[in-house]
């Protein structure tokens, strides 16, 4: 069986793909490709943040890297719970005579 041939995205040489996602003929070319920004998709595991915010409760900087991640104000459900608990406690104090 013939494996598909591809041209290396960095040096342009034809090579035989070992994996369907392979875009470079060698490790050196892969690195070069990354460096010059040809391809950031192979072997992903990017930790490019979609957005960052500061947790409204603990002040930790939260980096959201997943589109499914809906967090916007708190780093965790625990922080969110504590935050609202404190808010309630504070407003009760204010209302007290």
Where along the sequence are the contacts to Zn ion (CB under 5 A)? 8, 10-11, 25, 29, 55, 57-58, 60, 75, 79
Confirm if 7 and 20 have CB atoms less than 8 A apart.
Answer: no
Q: Which residues of 8-30 are buried (b: 16+ CB within 10 A; e: fewer)?
A: bbbeeeebeeeeeebbbbeeebb
Q: What is the DSSP letter of 72?
A: S
Nearest CB to Zn ion, comparing residues 11 and 39: 11
Min dist CB 69 to Zn ion, Å, is 14
Nearest CB to Zn ion, comparing residues 57 and 66: 57
Nearest CB to Zn ion, comparing residues 58 and 64: 58
């Amino acid at each position: 069986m013939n494996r598909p041939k591809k041209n290396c995205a960095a040096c342009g040489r034809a090579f035989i793909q070992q994996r369907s996602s392979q875009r470079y003929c060698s490790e050196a070319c892969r690195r070069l490709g990354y460096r010059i920004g040809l391809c950031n998709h192979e072997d992903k595991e990017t930790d490019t943040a979609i957005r960052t915010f500061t947790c409204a409760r603990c002040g930790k900087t939260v980096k959201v890297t997943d589109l499914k991640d809906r967090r916007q104000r708190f780093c965790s459900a625990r922080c969110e719970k504590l935050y609202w608990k404190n808010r309630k406690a504070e407003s009760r104090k204010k209302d007290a005579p």
